[in-house]
Chains A and B, each alone.
Chain A
């Protein structure tokens, strides 16, 4: 990791945080990530979409937590203290993303990211902006912008 600060190594490469949900692996741009913390029980919000777990206290700020599994249409599991919340900044909002576990940090150049294969899944078309091969497995690169879509703001 020492060379990641040298200009040549990071010329076009970006860093991504990889995490698991169920059997699948995803990653998001590290620049959007503010911090990673363990899961603490959230206060549910009335009239909120199913993928909003509720709000938690992040050092005095009220942070909404999105259950990424539900958001992506995957099977939802009851969160435990071993689950992780990735705190991301999207535009002016700070939200927490509930995931099963954070695995590692990847350095990817743009050409390593392949376009999303044409599949029927709406989730794949909405949130996955590309895929990356990593050994035998595949990692989906997520865009965080539409994870917290407009309807949530008008949920009232």
Chain B
């Protein structure tokens, strides 16, 4: 990979984190926690994005971030107060920022209009602040800054184009303000960069350092004079100070001997005046006599010898970061570790089985040692799984944006309350959760919550409330989206289902069954196809996405009080809860999520239907009966179903079926192993796993098995047609 691309990759990864940080900070501010720490965190996030974006030349991004940063800086220095309207603007700005970052990442064009609107709004805020109590300071700053900007252009245009500049001497006077260090910039780095442009003579002025007792650890007391001999144009020199020029006093001038003398005189007075004169007489001797040292040495000296303001600041920054130290690890490595631990677990189980087969008593030292090993292996497995586990917070935070946008579009006022954002779940589950969750949130705001006037009429607060929560429940994660809207309009849902021919008009359905109709493919309650939820994707897509993750969805709704959608998902995709069954002497695993219930077929409940097909009656419904042993060709003749057990399963498409197996061994968590790696896809089999006895067991693909009867029928039809 191109090295630049991988650096960019890292930048964007960090951007993601900074954006999350930014948004969570802003949400805190919105909740009234506008303390210095939060504001600083928000500011740091924006500033880091700006730094990286500048380095990669994402101009549009830099431009926007700069305006954003300036606003936050005003907030930080209490020149702006965090009013609700300000935080709303900032939140929208953060949305735009994340769009711009995505555009930069995918190399697409972002919505420049939105960016400009927000930027203009932010700029207007700057004006307000400047007009406020700190007017003087502001105007002073801008006075100082303005001429610099103009001179940059003129010099660049004139000398840059016409004549290539010969070696020039620049005198750079640089006095950082505390703000420079607060933004995690470092003087040392700037000086080093300068030294790379040419020959630099750096001199540090330490006169302003107060007594230790008066020293403000976060203050800035040092200033530098740099004499730089370089063939680079002035613009290049200025570029080095690009990110700090708002936080320092900077004066760059082209030196002739007279100016040099002046500059040195100014810099060294009053005590060192004699040296200065000597220096003026013969410039080369400055190096020897004047208290100047080359850049890196000066920097090092500065760090060691003086209580440089940069240092305490840097340490403070580190301290904040150290609270949660993380490392980036390639996902492949983690997965390999997880695989190895899976093997360890299997191996340990095999060992235990062998020991018990060898007739050693449970009290023997070997058996006791094995028990300890088992405990350890289980701990290791949990810890390794925890590496892939991540809090759902980033996904939840994205939802707050969705709520804002949809609420704005529909003219509703909605407050999103999040709960349990720290709940951890496997990374893959998180990644695949975003889309269905976004859809559910959109639906809840669009269809669930009523318009403000309707809410007031119903005696509810004008602002609707949407609760997004995550909890761990019996080895699964349960995510709930609850609104306090009108609830599901069952009469209407029923009517729509009848109109669309999804259910017969005379169908007698329970409330729960009616609620579940919205999961049917082709069902959409929106009478107009709106921009928000009616995109041709209904709740059936959401349900299928959740089921593909091994999850289940359910609804509960109280008319007038709201609806709650809840989904229960496995914590990881590497293991699966399965029902271990025996079929034709073979051990198979049926995913537990597919199983609704188990039945003991009775002679009177099994009915023949046509040629060889059988159905089973359960709760007044007839369900097709499928002999798994026949489908997988473990046997040629069906055996008496009453000697078997039926598993009532539901496929992802909602079709129900009863699978006949010989016996149920029990319920177990199994590690999923791919069959495709070394073999290929096998019809009716989803994957394989390794059981405690070391043998491979196949995991049943319930969907394929359920879809089988129809496929057989088609095949039979095709054959009979061919025969004719």
Contacts and interface: CB of A to CB of B under 8 A. Distances in A.
Contact of A43 (B339, B633, B683, B697): B697
Given A43-B697, A57-B694, A62 B682 contact: no
- The winner among B631, B677, B694 for most chain A CB atoms within 10 A is B677
A102 to B, nearest CB: 21
B678 A47 contact: no
B343 interface: yes
Contact of B346 (A40, A46, A60): A60
Contact of A57 (B634, B674, B684, B696): B696
Interface string B130-172: 0000000000000000000000000000000000000000000
The bracket for how many chain A residues form the interface is 20 to 34
A25 to B, nearest CB: 27
Given A62-B688, A62-B696, A93 B678 contact: yes
A47 B680 CA distance: 12
Interface string B676-695: 01111111110010100011
B350 to A, nearest CB: 9
Contacts of B514: none
A57 B340 CA distance: 14
B680 A41 contact: no
Interface stretch (A4-12, A15-23, A129-137, A148-156): A148-156
A94 B679 CA distance: 8
B640 to A, nearest CB: 22
Contacts of B634: 44, 46
A46 B683 contact: yes
B49 interface: no
B682 A155 contact: yes
Interface in B329-368: 339-340, 342-343, 346
A93 B680 CA distance: 10
B695 A43 contact: yes
A120 B631 CA distance: 38
B679 A43 contact: no
B716 to A, nearest CB: 17
Interface string A39-62: 011111111100000111101111
Given A40-B695, A62-B690, 5 more contacts: A46-B632, A55-B675, A61-B673, A62-B673, A62-B678
Nearest to A148: B679
A57 B350 CA distance: 12
A121 B343 CA distance: 43
Which residue, of B340, B678, B683, has the highest number of chain A Cβ atoms within 10 A? B678
Nearest to B674: A62
Interface of A: 40-48, 54-57, 59-64, 93-95, 152-156
A41 B674 CA distance: 19
Contacts of A64: 678-679
Contact of B679 (A40, A45, A46, A60): A45
Give the most central of B339, B674, B698: most A CB within 10 Å: B698
Interface in B475-518: none
B682 A45 contact: yes
Nearest to B671: A60
Contacts of A94: 678
Contacts of A61: 673, 677-678
Contacts of B339: 60
Contacts of A41: 695
B584 to A, nearest CB: 10
A60 B677 CA distance: 13
Contacts of A152: 679-680
Contacts of B633: 46-47
A154 B680 contact: yes
Which among B634, B674, B695, B696 has the highest number of chain A CB atoms within 10 Å?
A: B696
A153 B695 CA distance: 22
B13 interface: no
15 contacts: A40-B694, A43-B586, A44-B586, A45-B675, A46-B683, A47-B683, A57-B694, A57-B696, A60-B343, A62-B673, A62-B696, A64-B679, A95-B678, A155-B680, A156-B683
B683 A45 contact: no
A59 B347 CA distance: 8
Contact of A63 (B346, B678, B685): B678
Contacts of B697: 43
Contacts of B694: 40, 57
A52 to B, nearest CB: 8
Contacts of A63: 678
A112 B586 CA distance: 47
Pick the 7 closest A-B CB pairs, nearest first.
Answer: A60-B343, A46-B632, A153-B680, A156-B683, A43-B696, A64-B679, A62-B688
Nearest to B343: A60
Contact of B688 (A55, A95, A156): A55
Given A60-B343, A64-B679, A154-B680, A46 B695 contact: no
A58 B22 CA distance: 48
B684 A59 contact: no
B682 A47 contact: yes
A156 B680 contact: yes
A99 to B, nearest CB: 18
Contacts of B678: 61-64, 93-95
A93 B683 contact: no
B677 A62 contact: yes
A48 B633 CA distance: 10
Contacts of A93: 677-679
Nearest to A54: B696
B543 to A, nearest CB: 27
B698 A45 contact: yes
A43 B682 contact: no
A62 B675 contact: yes
Nearest to B339: A60
A55 B679 contact: yes
Interface in B595-639: 631-634
Given A46-B685, A47-B633, A57-B696, A62 B679 contact: yes
A43 B343 CA distance: 18
A38 to B, nearest CB: 13
Contacts of B342: 60
A152 B690 CA distance: 22
A55 B696 contact: yes
Contacts of B679: 45, 55, 62, 64, 93, 95, 152-153
A156 B711 CA distance: 13
Contact of B684 (A47, A62, A95): A47
Nearest to A93: B678
Nearest to B684: A46
B685 A45 contact: yes
B25 to A, nearest CB: 44
A154 B679 CA distance: 10
A5 B685 CA distance: 46
A84 B531 CA distance: 65
Contacts of B675: 45, 55, 62
A132 to B, nearest CB: 30
Contacts of A44: 586, 634
A46 B680 contact: no
Contacts of B631: 46
A35 to B, nearest CB: 14
Contacts of B684: 46-47
Contacts of B696: 42-43, 54-57, 62
Nearest to B628: A46
B332 to A, nearest CB: 16
A154 B688 CA distance: 18
Contacts of B685: 45-46
Nearest to B340: A60
A57 B680 contact: no
A40 B253 CA distance: 84
A154 B632 CA distance: 16
Given A47-B633, A63-B678, A64-B678, A57 B695 contact: yes
